Chains A and B, each alone.
Chain A
Amino acid sequence: MTTSRTFVDDVLRALDGEATPEEERALARVVAADPEASRAFGLVLRLHGNLGPSLRERGTDPVERSGLPAQERRGRAPIAVGMAAAVAALACLFWIVRRDGPVDVAIAPRARDAGVTLASTQGSIVDAGPPPSATERSREVLLRYDFEDGRRQPPWLLSPVDKCPPRPGSQRCLRAQHFRPDQPFSVGMAMGARTIFTHREGTRIEFDYWLGTWLGDHAPYARIWIHDRDQNAAYYFSLPEVRSGAWVHVEAPLDRFVPQHPRSEGQRLSPGATIDHVVVAVDLKDQDVFFLDDFQVTAPAD
């Protein structure tokens, strides 16, 4: 009798945070006292938690539509481990993760270790990081775009070049825009037959970004997505933290990118992989702005 529409509606309202404390307590009493209510509550809870991921899977993965869970058929894990997740995990469960333990993901305890430095604020250099080592100086630039000619330069096809917040020596950069209403704001390169670059050992993606006033009700997140055409697999790198109101420099080593849908444990990009898609996605609200400048891909010189 307890799995009535009213009961389900009450549970959903509570899960949405719309129930009053009194209503929450009343619901808890019913669930605690009635096994059938307890069962129904658990089911609604699980449906609520899996609605978004299930909708997203339906929308993006046609293999999913044949019925069986795609992860099971492909033998892949449903996890994707990003830097943000790694750092947060380390911080929230320091008693569980031993730094000297057999972890397979590099964990950077500080933003700079993960390749993020505050490059400049209001045009002045605040923290450019330590001077480059001999190894750093011997890096080769595989490609570089500074957008200063004001045009959309191939192979950047997805975002407009615009005037950007002031900084020395740069007037224009890429401005993020919505590609799809259900996707975060993004700046990106072409996806298609074109090769943007070929991965080799030690390759990293570098750029500067500037996030305008953050009006969201949660901490902003940003991810760099790349697509390996050879494996037809997407990989991503979560920025450890996203700062607003200042130019921030990012260095994302490709060996820190993790697969969106792992097919095997410890899967990483292989040298020689053809990268045909690079997108920087940030979950902006309509009032926010995000600029990207001085994008480059570098690798150790041969």
Chain B
Amino acid sequence: MAVNATKLLLQHRFALLGFIRAHVRHGQDAEDVFQEVAEIIVQKLQAGEQVRDFRAWSHEIARLCVLRYVRRQGRAARPFGEELTAIVDAAYLRAPEPATLAAEAEALRRCLERLPARNRALLERRFVADESFAQIAAAVGATEAAVRRAVSRARLALSGCVERRLGRTLSQ
């Protein structure tokens, strides 16, 4: 039976993006790398490649594409050390099953809806427009340190919200 490549990608997209974005510090670049990975996965599956362990197989594809991106970027890529690379790998390889990933994606969506507009605007500047802290600071008339703190607080609040939605506890 033909493997539904689209379905597999949808099921694992949340985890794949997490893995790729960890290594690719620029948001738009990360999405481009994801597209490369997605295209290869679709092509291979449509070509009839037999895949026993999709997670391990897609990890190898993503790892090679990330590696190539890092080489292309040179020093600007600032790759992780060996130890952190290993736990990022493990985080993808041991990511939850698709149903849990879908719940995480839904929780993130819900929590973003509840995020105060000011925090959301900050996160959009940082993670959609890929602006540096200095650029955001100049735009909003604050110090860079204040912007860093505000973005950090917003992300912590978001993580806490997602944890609560998933029924886990985040100790204060």
Which of A's residues lie within 8 Å of B, judged by CB? 1, 3-5, 8-9, 12, 14-17, 21, 24-25, 27-29, 31-32, 38, 41-59, 64-65, 67-69, 71-72, 76-82, 84-86, 88-89, 91-93, 96-98, 101-105, 181-183, 217-219, 221, 265, 283
Q: Does B46 contact A (CB under 8 A)?
A: yes
Name 14 A/B residue pairs within 8 A (Cβ), A-sorted: A9-B156, A16-B25, A47-B159, A49-B14, A50-B108, A52-B27, A53-B17, A54-B112, A55-B120, A57-B109, A67-B106, A76-B6, A92-B64, A104-B46
Would you call B104 and A54 a contact (CB within 8 A)?
A: no
Would you call A49 and B84 a contact (CB within 8 A)?
A: no
Would you call B81 and A24 a contact (CB within 8 A)?
A: yes
- C-alpha spacing A69/B14, complex, angstroms: 12
Size bracket of the B interface: 35 or more
Q: Which residues of B contact A15 (CB under 8 A)?
A: 21-22
Would you call A93 and B61 a contact (CB within 8 A)?
A: yes
Q: Does B90 contact A (CB under 8 A)?
A: yes
Q: Out of A49, A79, A283, which one reaches B38, CB within 8 Å?
A: A79
Would you call A79 and B84 a contact (CB within 8 A)?
A: no
Would you call A218 and B19 a contact (CB within 8 A)?
A: no
Q: Out of B9, B91, B128, B158, which one reaches A79, CB within 8 Å?
A: B9
List 16 extra interface pairs beyond A9-B152, A76-B6, CB under 8 A.
Answer: A3-B168, A3-B169, A5-B160, A28-B81, A29-B83, A32-B83, A38-B94, A42-B94, A46-B17, A46-B18, A48-B21, A49-B19, A49-B22, A86-B39, A92-B67, A98-B47
Q: Out of B5, B20, B39, which one reaches A49, CB within 8 Å?
A: B20
Q: Which residues of B contact A5 (CB under 8 A)?
A: 156, 160, 170-172
- C-alpha spacing A93/B57, complex, angstroms: 13
Q: A-facing mask of B58-93, CB < 8 A → 1, else 0?
A: 000100110111001100101011011011101110
Name the 3 nearest CB pairs between A and B, nearest first. Answer: A49-B21, A49-B18, A28-B83
- C-alpha spacing A28/B163, complex, angstroms: 21
- C-alpha spacing A120/B130, complex, angstroms: 32
Q: Which residues of A contact B15 (CB under 8 A)?
A: 46
Instruction: Tell me, rounded to whole Å, the shortest Cβ–Cβ distance linking A27 to chain B.
Output: 7
Q: Out of A24, A77, A84, A93, which one reaches B83, CB within 8 Å?
A: A24
Instruction: Tell me, rounded to whole Å, the shortest Cβ–Cβ distance linking A22 to chain B.
Output: 10
Would you call A77 and B112 a contact (CB within 8 A)?
A: no
Would you call B73 and A218 a contact (CB within 8 A)?
A: yes
Would you call B39 and A105 a contact (CB within 8 A)?
A: yes
In the complex, residue of chain B having the shortest beta-carbon distance to the beta carbon of A76: B6
Given known contacts A1-B171, A49-B19, A55 and B65 CB-to-CB distance under 8 angstroms: no
Q: Which residues of A contact B86 (CB under 8 A)?
A: 28, 32
Q: Which residues of B contact A182 (CB under 8 A)?
A: 124-125, 128-129
Q: Which residues of B contact A92 (CB under 8 A)?
A: 36, 64-65, 67-69
Would you call B14 and A38 a contact (CB within 8 A)?
A: no
- C-alpha spacing A290/B80, complex, angstroms: 34
Instruction: Tell me, rounded to whole Å, the shortest Cβ–Cβ distance linking B32 to chain A.
Output: 6
- C-alpha spacing A77/B45, complex, angstroms: 14
Instruction: Tell me, rounded to whole Å, the shortest Cβ–Cβ distance linking A48 to chain B.
Output: 6
Q: A-facing mask of B108-122, CB < 8 A → 1, else 0?
A: 111011000000100
